[in-house]
Structure 1
Amino acid sequence: MNKLEELGWDYSVQDIEKQMIARVITVQKNSFRISDGNLEFIAHLSGKFLNEAIDSFDFPAVGDWVEVQKLSGERKAVIKRVLPRKSQFVRQAAGVKTEAQLVAANIDTVFIVNSMNNDLSIRRIERYILSTYESGATPVVVLTKKDECSLDKVTEIISQVEKVAIGVPIVAISSVTRDGIRDLLEFLPPKRTGALLGSSGVGKSTLVNVLLGKDVQHTKDVREDDSKGRHTTTYREMFLLPNGALLIDTPGMRELQLWEGESAIESTFQDVGLLVEGCRFIDCQHDTEPGCSIKEAIEAGKLSEDRFHSYIKLQRELAYEKRKQDQKAQLVEKNRWKRVFKDQKSKYKKRNIR
C-alpha cells in the first residue's frame, strides 16, 4: 500500500503526480507541517498562492491535501495550491468581524465530545450536529467521564442526548477505565479521518493520549466549581493512530457560532420538520393557529418547548449570519472595483506623463 493511502488519500479524487502530494498535519499561524506518508516537512505558502488567495477558505487547514514543491536536500516545502476538499467544518470566527474559520478539512467523522458533568449542554450538541451535517462529515456524539457517573446517571444522560441526536450514534466512554474505547474505535477504521470537537476540559486531549497509547497531548483538570475546562490544546493537529486511522485534535470551543447550515437544519431537527409538515396551514406560525402539529406535540409531551425554541433560534441565527455575509460580500466586491479603478487611473496617468 502506498504511504499516501495510509494518510487517507483516494486516487479516484485527483489526477496528480503522487510526488507532489502531501497532507497538512499541523497549522500554526503561517507555518505548516505536512506529510507525504514517508517524511514530514515544514512548509510555507508560495508567493503566487498568497497573491491569489481571496479569503480564509483559500488557505490550508489541518486535513487538507496540498500540491507542494519539495526543496531538495531539505525537510522543507512550498505549498502551491490546496486540492479540492470533500468536507470542511466551518464556524463563525470569534469576535465581532463577519469571518469564517475553517476548523478542519477532509474529515469523514466528527466526534462531538461532551463530558457527563455540569458542563453538559444539549443545546450545544444540537449546534455541533447541525454544523457537522453541513460540513459533509458524519456526526458521532462521544460522552466522556463515564467513570464519574452512576449507571442510572449515564442512562439518563444518553436518553436526553438521544432526543436531539436523532439517528446519530452515541458512545459513552471513560478514558480512565477505558470503558467504551473499543466501541469508539469502530467509528475510526484505518485510512479514515476523524476530528474531535467540543469545549475545553471535556477530555479530547486525554482521549487522544489513550487512543495513541502514549502521552502526546498536555492535559489539565477541570475547575471543580463549574466543571468548565481550561484550554490545553492550542492548535489543530492530526495524529496517526495505531490501528491506521487518522484523528484531528482541536482547541476547545466554548461557543460554536454558526457560519452556515440552511441545508442541514432539517436533518438535525427531523422530528420538528415532520411536525411542521403536519400543520394545517402552510404558513403556520405555531402560535395561535388551529390545527398546529407543533402545539399539539408540545401539549402531549412529544416535543419539548426547549427543543422547538432551539429550532427557531438557530433558524433566525442562520438568517442573520446570511445577511451579514451578503453585506460583507457586497463590500468586498465594492472595494475590489475601487482598487481596479485606482490601478487603471494610475496607469493612465503614467502613460500621459510619458
Structure 2
Amino acid sequence: MALEDLGYSKTLEDYRQQHNLGAFEVGRVAQEHKDRYVVVTDAKTLDGELIGNLRYTATSRNDLPVVGDWVAISEYDEGKGLIHAVLPRFSVLERQAIGKYGEAQLIASNVDYGLIIQSVNRDFNINRLERYLTLCYASKIKPIIVVTKTDLTDVQKVNVLLDEINNRIKNVSIVAVSNKTQMGMDDLKKLIYKGKTYCLLGSSGVGKSSLINSLSGAYLMKTGSISERIDRGKHVTTHRELISLINGAILIDNPGMREVGITDASGGLESTFEKIYELTQHCKFSDCTHTTEQGCAVISAIEKGEIEESFFENYLKMEREKEHFESTVAEKRKKDKDFGKMIKQYKKSKNSNRN
C-alpha cells in the first residue's frame, strides 16, 4: 500500500527531509500496546519500539506516539523496528484523563473526521453528543453524527430523535443507519473519502465494530450480541486500531468511552454552543453570569423558548470543566516552575560551597 493511501502528505515528506530523517522508513502507527507499536509502512508491517533518546527526552505522554501518528522507523530485525521520531501532527484528539485532573489523554492523531456514534436505544444522549462535538471542534476535526441500530425501533421514533438532534445541533451531517438491514449505509459511505482518516467515537455497545464491517464490506471486527436485560451491545474493542477500507479511507477504531471529560477545549465550546456565545454579546452587562441578571440575553432566550434550558445547562457544566482543567494546569505549571527554581538554587548553593 502506498504511503499516500494511508494519508501521507508532501508537508510530512518535506519535514522528513529538512530534519535529516530521509535515511529512515516512514510508517503510520496502527496500534499501540503500552510501549510497543504496530507500524504500517508502504511495504510491510513492523513491531516497533522507541529508541532510548526518544523515550527519555519526552517531557510528557504527548511526545510519544499514538495511533494515527507518522513516525520515522528503521528495521533492525525481521518484522521489528526502532522508532526514531514522531512527525508533526495536524490534529490531536484528546479528552480529560480519567482520575487525573489537569492531564489530557490523547485518543488519536492526524484525524480528519470524527464519526460520533450513538444508538437509538438506551445509549442516546444529546448532552453526550455535544461533548463529542466539543472534542472534535477543539481538535479542528469535522464531526459526523451517526445514529445506529435503527432496526431496533420504528421509523417514527427515529425521526423524533433526528428532530431532537437537529433542534440542538446545527451544520453537522447526520446519518441514521442499521448495520443489520444496511439502511442508510449508502448515505454514510458518500461521506467516507479516500485518503481521509476517520475516528470512531462513542460508548461501548453502540455498534462501532458492526459499522466497520459494514463500511469495509468484510468481517474485520468481532461484534458483540445485544444483552436483552440492559438493551445494550456488549463491549468488544479493547484497543485503538487503524483500519484501511476498500475505498482508500482510514478508520481508527476506538474503545467505548465511559467518560468524555473536557480539556481546555479552545474553540470547541464556542463552536458547539455558538448560539449562546452570540447571545452573550447582547447582554446588558459585560460581566453577566447569565443566571439572575436583568437584561441578560441568554435568560431572555430561554424564557422565550428560543434555546432549551437543558442546552444552556450542558454549556454551563462543560464551561466549568474547562475552567477547572485550565486552573489545574496553571497550578501544576507554577509548582513545576517553583520546583525548577529550587533545584537551580540548590545547585548554585552547592557550587558556592565548593568554591
TM above 0.5: yes
Please give the residue correspondences for 1:19-38 in structure 2 after superposition, counting only pairs within 5 Å: 20-38=25-43
Runs of 5+ consecutive residues of structure 1 not aligned to the other structure: none
CA distance 1:35–1:339, change in 2 (3 Å)? farther
Q: Does 1:75 align with 2:79?
A: yes
Code of the residue aligned with 1:128 in structure 2: it is Y
Deviation at 1:151, TM superposition (A): 1.0
Look up the equivalent residue of 1:186 and give its one-letter code.
K
Report what 2:280 is aligned to. 276
Whether the aligned pair in 2 keeps the contact of 1:63 and 1:106 (CA below 8 Å) is yes
Match of 2:19 in 1: none
1:299 to 1:213, Cα distance in 2 relative to 1, 3 A: same
Deviation at 1:279, TM superposition (A): 2.3
2:15 is the alignment partner of 1:10: no
Contact 1:269 1:311 in 2 (8 A): yes
Aligned partner of 1:68: which letter? I
Relative to 1, partners in 2 of residues 1:37 and 1:337: Cα closer, same or farther, differing over 3 Å? farther
The equivalent residue for 1:208 is 212
Conserved? CA contact 1:199–1:229, under 8 Å? no
Letter in 1 for 2:6: L
| Whole-angstrom CA distance in 2 between matches of 1:18 and 1:37 | 15
User: Contact (CA 8 Å) 1:166, 1:270: kept in 2 or not?
Assistant: no
Per-residue CA distance 1:176-226 (angstroms, 9 max, x = gap) = 111111111222111110000110001111111222222222222343344
Amino acid across the alignment from 2:56:
N
Supply the distance in 2 between the matched residues of 1:230 and 1:334 (Cα, whole angstroms).
Answer: 48
Partner of 1:164: 168
1:64 corresponds to which residue? 69
TM-superposed deviation, 1:344: 7.6
Determine the structure 1 residue equivalent to 2:47.
42
SS at 2:168's partner residue? coil
Letter of the structure 2 residue corresponding to residue 211 of structure 1: L
Q: For structure 1, which segment, 189-198 or 269-278, has the greater mean C-alpha deviation from structure 2 after superposition?
A: 269-278
Query: Could you tell me how far 1:338 is from its partner in structure 2?
Result: 5.2
> Partner letter of residue 8 of structure 1?
G
Query: What TM-score, normalized by structure 2, do the two folds share?
Result: 0.91
Q: CA deviation at 1:93?
A: 1.3
Q: Point out where structure 2 has 5 or more consecutive residues left out of the alignment.
A: 17-21
AA aligned opposite 2:129:
I
The answer for the alignment partner of 2:94 in structure 1 is 90
SS in structure 2 at match of 1:231: coil
Moved more, 319-328 or 257-266: 257-266
RMSD: 2.2
Partner of 2:268: 264
In the other structure, the counterpart of 2:56 is: 51
Matches within 5 A, 1:332-343: 332-336=336-340
Deviates more, 1:235-244 or 1:271-280: 271-280
**What is the one-letter code of the residue matched to 2:143?**
P
Question: Structure 1 residue 142 and structure 2 residue 158: aligned?
Answer: no
